[in-house]
Structure 1
């Protein structure tokens, strides 16, 4: 195996661990890494999408076998994600990349604050009817689906605080659902990229290499989360959310040409 192949495998394992631990697609790790190697943003996101499909399907299978995944909730939120993804092209025709990134940053920040300071005080919100619960799941999926495809992310980082705040899900319960949602978002993104010609042989090769390595990482991540206390997982998850917000804010500043490094 060549040096770069080994590098792709290692970054795949790292991204897979984060997927298993936090229910995210791995794009926030893979895309910056690929860009640092001089790859175009389109190819970087394309590789990330292929990786997300493999990691999310494998991780969801493990979670289902271990009875960690509520499949009914996952399907409802996933169908919402497909609907939202279908409107992503319409949204992009009216909003620029900068505007969409700014909206995503604001929404992420609001729900981060609610997740950090409001979850423990909303137990009365968790007593909802099945219909109300499914409506919240579907809307959360649809809302996240727009950003997941338009910005090339899995969407798990946005779903987790929404479900925690409105349905009272603890951090370890929401991770399997978030990872399951990534299946729908990544497959939709794959069809979009294939249609636009972004996915070529090089992207497929590197995406599969990173993806198979990430499956190993997902297995490790799920093993770690099973033995982790909810309070510890909650605190680490908050740090991941905060890092994501910082990275998104920096990306917005670069798009606005306020910073150039």
Structure 2
């Protein structure tokens, strides 16, 4: 359905993904990619559309976090630097793999992250016990690794950043939210440029990505409001629920692409 030229399905997806961005510091791709795959888009277009949307969500959300003094800007710049380097290769990675392969990889990444976050044991050496150089080195490397793989899958990388920084630097799930969302700014801009140069993004992808992005701005505002009042345990449980939703939708999409099940929305 369209109202005033806007596809309401994309607006709704944007709001939901924006709430997830504000709550968990993610780009929103774990919501956008599975939902748009269910709607029948190819993995390449779903991923590219998600990355375009991330620019809106991450910039707006980081501005709010900065105004509220919730953003560690220095740490964010080191992670962002790594993200720029890693995400610059994302367009090449997307063009290298087939649609089914990308969907399967996305599903596997989701499952691994879910198990890691749900059952991992935190590194006993936290950020305060590490030297400044080692801490900054971990931040940059986390950005590079996440930028290469996450942007190629259209997921922004906030969840992967949270997992890495939580283990190596001792950041809890709420502390890393604003840092993760700030990282997405660098990764999404770099990834979008890479997608354009590799011919992955066309006019329809940009249009729908902008629609989702505008919806996500409202969602980000709501998500940041919610996370400020959430207890840490409840925050972790909500994040695990996001993992399960993304895994379920992506699994259904992969089965459909493989011809094992046949239906469309």
TM-score between both structures, scaled by the size of structure 2: 0.83
Deviates more, 1:45-54 or 1:95-104: 95-104
Q: 1:206 aligns with which of 205, 208, 217?
A: 208
CA distance in 1, matches of 2:42, 2:100: 18
Give the C-alpha shift of residue 147 in structure 1. Answer: 0.7
Give the C-alpha shift of residue 101 in structure 1. Answer: 7.1
Give the C-alpha shift of residue 28 in structure 1. Answer: 2.2
Structure 2 unaligned spans of 5+:
none
Give the C-alpha shift of residue 249 in structure 1. Answer: 6.0
Give the C-alpha shift of residue 173 in structure 1. Answer: 0.8
Provide the residue aligned with 1:228 in structure 2: 230
Deviates more, 1:86-95 or 1:47-56: 86-95
Provide the residue aligned with 1:237 in structure 2: 239
Deviates more, 1:171-180 or 1:204-213: 204-213
Give the C-alpha shift of residue 145 in structure 1. Answer: 1.1
- Is 1:122 matched with 2:123? yes
Provide the residue aligned with 1:147 in structure 2: 149
CA distance in 2, matches of 1:117, 1:207: 34
Provide the residue aligned with 2:74 in structure 1: 72
Q: Deviations over 1:174-227 (max 9, x none)?
A: 111111111112111211222233333332222222111110110000000001
TM-score between both structures, scaled by the size of structure 1: 0.84
Q: Given that residues 38 and 249 in structure 2 are in contact (C-alpha distance below 8 angstroms), is that contact kept between their aligned partners in structure 1?
A: no
Structure 1 unaligned spans of 5+:
none
Q: Given that residues 25 and 156 in structure 1 are in contact (C-alpha distance below 8 angstroms), is that contact kept between their aligned partners in structure 2?
A: yes
Q: 1:31 aligns with which of 17, 33, 37?
A: 33
- 1:254–1:75 Cα change, 3 Å: farther
Deviates more, 1:237-246 or 1:200-209: 237-246
- 1:37–1:82 Cα change, 3 Å: same
Q: 2:136 aligns with which of 134, 137, 160?
A: 134
CA distance in 1, matches of 2:83, 2:250: 21
